[in-house]
Chains A and B, each alone.
Chain A
């Protein structure tokens, strides 16, 4: 079975500052990793995914994440955040052939002017 831990439930940052949202996972088999974003009153939207290949993946809105197999991590980063990045961010894991995603608890990113 897989599990996901998002180490920070809330992350406040100032506008134009860099941000890192942490995600660690546990699995006995190879995994696929995802970051989803949920803006207020909206559904979840895929930000980026790691399936295989390059460990650095780039997503929408200037976000990127790096898969680190030895540390079982998939941290999300953005070099300069905007007010519009205020949202809840979910890390999720799946495996080949699986029909479901296992989500972390979510991290609420708040951008202060």
Chain B
């Protein structure tokens, strides 16, 4: 059973371009969470999705960021018109149940986004 797969591992974009980060949850997991880690900071919650639904997007910036988890395929975190401040490591986690107490939460290796 493969773990949570994120790709690409590293993504370089120029200012103004779009960034698409992909997350394939563990088999049987229908709950996906995205976290962002800015340099020298801890991970910060961005969004929680179930299949085809956004449950909690309280941590998402109001503009340029969007996320989806379609019925088929991976979850996508999309950042439009990237700026240098978007440079960070983006982590995806999946769970077979709502996270609740976090013990069944599995993290991917992250995507390091660098904006030039």
- A interface residue numbers (CB < 8 A to B): 4, 6, 9, 32, 34, 36, 41-46, 49, 51, 90, 92, 94, 96-106
Contacts and interface: CB of A to CB of B under 8 A. Distances in A.
Nearest to A39: B109
Nearest to A102: B45
Given A43-B110, A44-B107, A97 B100 contact: yes
Contacts of A102: 45
B14 interface: no
Given A101-B45, A103-B42, A103-B44, A43 B3 contact: yes
Contacts, number: 70
A32 B4 CA distance: 24
Closest 8 CB pairs of A and B: A103-B42, A43-B107, A100-B45, A44-B107, A103-B43, A105-B42, A43-B109, A43-B108
Interface of B: 3-4, 33, 35, 40-45, 48, 55-56, 59, 91, 93, 98-103, 105-110
- Tell me what chain B mostly uses at the interface: helix, strand, loop, or mixed: loop
A94 B43 CA distance: 13
Nearest to A97: B100
26 contacts: A34-B102, A42-B109, A43-B108, A44-B107, A45-B107, A46-B102, A49-B101, A51-B103, A90-B42, A90-B43, A92-B102, A94-B102, A96-B101, A98-B99, A98-B100, A99-B56, A99-B99, A99-B100, A100-B45, A100-B59, A101-B45, A101-B105, A102-B45, A103-B44, A104-B42, A106-B42
